[in-house]
Amino acid sequence: ELLEGMDLGSVIRQSGPLAIRRAVHIARQICKALAAAHDAGIIHRDLKSENVVLTVRGGDPDFVKVLDFGICKQVDAASSSQTTPGMVMGSPDYMAPEQAAGAAANIKSDIYALGTILFEMLAGRLPFTGRNAIDVLMKKGAGPAPEVTELRPDVPPPLAAVVSRCLARELDDRPATMKALEYELTRAIEGRASAVAAVMGLQQFDGDDTTEGTGSIPQPLAHRPSTGKLAGLGHGSHGETDGESPSKLVTLHDQAAARSDGGRTPQAEPGTDKGKALLWVLLGAAVVIIAVLLLDPSLIPGLGRGEGGDDGGDNSGDDGEGRVEPPVLPKGGRKG
């Protein structure tokens, strides 16, 4: 395939740090590409910005193509930024600590490399720099990566936290899969509803990922409204929305999921408005029943109809006094 475009490394060197939403847009596409490779049992092992090409496709000027999956068959050494032959395979600037230690690369090694690319896109430079490859690898083993907000304070804290998790030295501290990382990236910028929709394979939001613009809520393809979009996603530096609240967006997504599941609607959960209303109705009904029984105990079978003195009253007379009569006509009239 002939690709017309520029590799991501060259774009960063020429333009400097990318717009936040543009960087996330590119990173999410890399997640999708690597997730497909991982599902096929392929570990890239040499993911770096020079292996990511940005081309124009379908109106998207930053359509991503991930290249160079042939490291295990084709190794060509030249410098610290290129693939190094021998026991350590990969580019030292993007290499995970476990790779530098000689361990086999795995899914989380690719996640570390993508975290390095994301840091590079946001900060305009790599998280670790040194005089040579050995210096860079020693710094990776000596301490944690710097926070991206130290170099770019306007990066939203949720997004900065995702970058730090990707660059964690311990494998267990990194996202488990590329799909999980895509979810975290989307949630950090677009909110939970869009993140869930993206992972579930629902329609993507229609926002402009290269700007700080708005987008619409992803809808299931079978239930897309013909007109009208709920705008407001993507505003704010913490993944919040100016239009709909995150909780309301999640409710809309849950209702859409329920409609696609046999037409069932979600039941009211404890703590929701419907649940509270139902609780008050039940309590009110219980109070009414108790009040009626207190006013007329004869409604309870056997209560107050003591026979043979079992009710504790004075039942020695035959005129019915001292006895609670059931609501029927008495055998004889009462005096007075």
Q: Which residues are catalytic?
A: 46
- The answer to whether 55 and 63 are in contact (CB under 8 A) is yes
Polymer length of the chain: 336
The C-alpha angle 119, 162, 33, rounded to 5 degrees, equals: 75
The runs of H, that is alpha helices, within the chain are 8-15, 20-39, 97-100, 107-123, 133-142, 148-151, 157-166, 178-190, 192-200, 246-259, 273-295
Distance from C-alpha of 11 to C-alpha of 262, rounded to nearest angstrom: 48
Q: What is the DSSP letter of 105?
A: P
Name the one residue in this structure whose structure tokens are 């509803």.
193
- The answer to whether 96 and 113 are in contact (CB under 8 A) is yes
